[in-house]
Amino acid sequence: MNATSSQPVFIALQTNNDTLSLIEAILFDNPQATLEEYPAMVRIVAPGRLVVRRESVEERIGRSFDLREIQLNTISIAGEVDETEDEFTLCWKL
């Protein structure tokens, strides 16, 4: 992974039953991230890099999870996307 800048990246998600564990997993895997809550949605902002890990989500929802499923509930993102089977990463490359 390239070095990243510390400019903020974010993911905004709808708040619903599907995203409860997703949000929990993201906050667990990104201790530097902050959660902003708005009506019907949250925005999770992190300096430079934010990662969604498939395993962390699966542990919480108790089934297998395809990271592309996050597109169902994503409202917006900021940062460059890198997507593999195991991780969905947002970052700003230096």
Partner 1 sequence: MSNENQTPAKKLTLKENYALMTRDLGWETSYQPMDEVFRYLKFEGIKIHDWEKWEDPFRLTMDAYWKYQGEKERKLYAIMDAFQQNNGQFNVTDVRYIQALKVFIQGFSLIEYTSHRGFNIMSRELAGVGPRIAAEMQALDELRHTQTQIHTLSQYNRYFAGMEEFPYMFDRTWYLSIPKSFFEDAVTGGPFEFIVAISFALEYLLTNLVFMPWMSGAAYNGDMATVTFGFSAQSDEARHMTLGLEIVKFLLEQDPANVPLVQKWIDKWFWRGYRVLALVSAMMDYMLPKRVMPWCEAFEIYFEQNGGALFADLARYGIRMPKHYEVAIKEKGRISHELWSIFYQYRDAAGFHPWLPSEEEMDWFSEKYPDTFDKLYRPRYEYWRQLEKEGRPFINSNLPQLCQICQWPMLFSEPDDPTQTCYRETEYKEEKFHFCSDGCKDIFCDEPEKYVNAWLPVHQIYQGNCLLEGVDPTAPGFNPLAEALKYMGIKPGIDGGSLSASADAHNWEAWTGRPHNSHEGMVTEPAAKAA
Q: Which residues contact partner 1 by CB under 8 A?
A: 5, 7-10, 12, 14, 38-41, 43, 68-69, 71-85, 92-94
Q: What's the chain's length in residues?
A: 94
CB of 38: closest distance to partner 1 in angstroms?
Answer: 5
Cβ proximity of 22 and 70 under 8 Å: yes
Number of alpha helices (DSSP H) and beta strands (DSSP E) in the chain: 2, 7
Query: In what helix (H) or strand (E) does residue 82 lie, and over which residues does it extend?
Result: strand 80-83
Pick the closest to residue 70 from 14, 5, 3 (CA basis).
Answer: 14
In this complex, which beta carbon is closest to partner 1, that of residue 5 or of residue 21?
A: 5
CB of 66: closest distance to partner 1 in angstroms?
Answer: 8
In this complex, which beta carbon is closest to partner 1, that of residue 35 or of residue 93?
A: 93
CB of 88: closest distance to partner 1 in angstroms?
Answer: 9
Cβ proximity of 21 and 57 under 8 Å: yes
CB of 21: closest distance to partner 1 in angstroms?
Answer: 18
